[in-house]
Structure 1
């Protein structure tokens, strides 16, 4: 989508980033006195590059994920994926999944719906493009490394979610019900001059990420 933007745009926006301090994991103070969930992926290590197949330069499917050490009192689990380095006031939301099982669990590759995949029937919330789907990483060329935060939260009993919850609704529920959290960071960078052999599409400039 954004791979054919001029490199100059990425360079001009280089210092404009939401910031890792603004991802939900870091803004709600959930870790103070709370249990820690271990989050991992078979596809990439923490703070390591994500393979291209999970990005807009490849198939764009969602990566495999796993989590463990959930507290026994958890009644549901949610996943939030945000781009900490999007040139937007708040991190760009790439996926929301709610009502996951309350046990050590996994999401297989392509479990989330995307442009090419129907997914595994998960209860999806809205990403920043207002879609109930996985939004593949798609940073502007030359903008530098982007950090994608895969955040897993365990919630106690309480009010449920709407059919397609957004980031604000998710934050409200986390404030009321969160009892544990975990974080995995995957990175992706589109260097200068990287133009995959795909037809460009028009995307709102304020939603780059």
Structure 2
């Protein structure tokens, strides 16, 4: 065997055990392409739901991850720019889960920041598409980031948060749930 081929084989055999595993997001309340339950539907604007964020768990983040962010986005909202339902940034690198109904008072780690959503305030805002508008997709995404903190405030615009997330993303994992009324 040639020395270069032997060195490549040795490197392949000594990769860390987590190498090659996929960054994943899971939830007991969500399924890919599955309609949201009433617990995750907004309470208001004509919608009658629990307005609770689902429990979320993520595994196998990319090497070099220094923090996480979580977003919930509806690309089908009739706004021309979609609808941001939840933006959570500056989750610590050792975080791997959030409980159902996470908020600054329950379940969000210290130092975590919620950005104002398109409902006009921070915090989870459930699904509430216009009646008869058809099926909407709700993209629950966890972002692995290359920075400890994003330079955002609670009143920062969602578009700025989205720009910074894409600028600092090492990887992301998404579950796309659906809902119509």
TM-score scaled by length of structure 1: 0.66
1:146 Cα offset (Å): 1.1
Following TM superposition, the consecutive aligned residue runs of length 4 or more in structure 1 with deviations greater than 3 angstroms are 118-122
Q: Give the distance between the partners of 2:54 and 2:148, measured in 1 at CA.
A: 29
* From 140, 156, 171, the counterpart of 1:150: 140
Contact 1:148-1:186 at 8 Å conserved across structures: yes
Q: What secondary structure sits across from 2:170 in the alignment?
A: strand
Aligned counterpart, 2:24? 38
C-alpha RMSD over aligned residues: 2.1
Contact kept? 2:67, 2:149, Cα under 8 Å: no
Where does the alignment leave 5 or more consecutive residues of structure 1 unmatched? Answer: 1-34, 191-209
Query: Are the structure 2 counterparts of residues 144 and 172 from structure 1 closer, same or farther at C-alpha, using a change threshold of 3 Å?
Result: closer
Per the alignment, residue 162 of structure 1 pairs with 152
Give the paired residue count. 152
CA 180–91 in structure 1, closer or farther in 2 if over 3 Å, else same? same
Q: RCO greater where, 1 or 2, for CA within 8 Å and sep 6 or more?
A: 1
Q: Shift of residue 66 of structure 1? A: 1.2
Q: Is this contact kept in 2: 1:153–1:178, CA < 8 A?
A: yes
Q: Which has the larger radius of gyration?
A: 2
Using the TM superposition, give the Cα deviation of residue 44 of structure 1 relative to its aligned residue in structure 2, in angstroms.
2.2
Deviations 1:38-57 (A, max 9, x none): 11110121110111111122
Structure 2: where are the runs of 5+ without partners? 1-20, 43-47
Alignment match of 2:163 (pick from 172, 192, 195): 172
